[in-house]
Chains A and B, each alone.
Chain A
Amino acid sequence: MDYKYIEQLLSRYWAAETSEAEERILRQFFSQPDVPPQLAAYRDLFVYEAEQESVGLGRDFDERVARLAQEGKSRVVRARRPSLGRRLRPLLHAAAVVAICVVVGDAAQRAFRSNGSQPVWDYNLNSYTDSYDNPQEALETVGGSLRQLHTLLAPEGEVRPDSLARTKTPNAPLP
Chain B
Amino acid sequence: MKPLLALLLALAGWLPAAAQRSEDFAQRFMSLYADSHALSCTTVSPAMMERVLNLDTLRHDDGARHVISQLRSIRVVTAANASHTDRLLSAADSLASVNRRRYTPRAEGADYAIYVRERRGVLVEVVVFLVDEERRFSMLDFTGNMSEDFLSRLARND
CA distance A173 to B120 in the complex (A): 35
Closest to A150 in B: B154
Closest to B64 in A: A163
Q: Which B1-49 residues have C-beta < 8 A from chain A?
A: 3-4, 6-7, 10-11, 13-14, 17-18, 20-24, 27, 40-49
Q: How far is the CB of B90 from chain A (nearest CB, A)?
A: 19
Q: Which B51-81 residues have C-beta < 8 A from chain A?
A: 51-52, 54-55, 57-58, 61, 63-64, 67-68, 71-74, 76, 78, 80
CA distance A152 to B120 in the complex (A): 25
Interface 1/0 per residue, A129-153 and B, CB below 8 Å: 1111001101101100110111011
**Number of chain A interface residues as a range:** 35 or more
Would B14 and A152 count as touching, CB distance under 8 A?
no
Consensus secondary structure, chain A interface: helix
Q: Is A50 an interface residue (CB 8 A)?
A: no
CA distance A172 to B138 in the complex (A): 10
Instruction: Choose among A89, A116, A127 the residue that contacts B120 (Cβ–Cβ < 8 A).
Output: A116
Q: How far is the CB of A91 from chain B (nearest CB, A)?
A: 9
Query: What are 8 inter-chain pairs, A to B, with CB distance below 8 A?
Result: A95-B7, A103-B10, A103-B14, A125-B45, A127-B24, A138-B51, A153-B107, A163-B64
Residues of B at under 8 Å CB distance from A?
A: 3-4, 6-7, 10-11, 13-14, 17-18, 20-24, 27, 40-49, 51-52, 54-55, 57-58, 61, 63-64, 67-68, 71-74, 76, 78, 80, 107, 109, 112, 114, 119-122, 124, 126, 128, 130, 132, 136, 138, 140, 142-145, 151, 154-157
What would 13 more interface pairs be, CB under 8 Å, given A102-B10, A150-B154? A99-B7, A99-B10, A130-B45, A132-B44, A136-B55, A139-B58, A142-B71, A146-B68, A148-B140, A150-B157, A154-B155, A159-B157, A160-B157
Residues of A at under 8 Å CB distance from B?
A: 89, 92-93, 95-96, 99-100, 102-103, 106-107, 110, 114, 116, 119-125, 127-132, 135-136, 138-139, 141-142, 145-146, 148-150, 152-155, 158-161, 163-164, 170-174
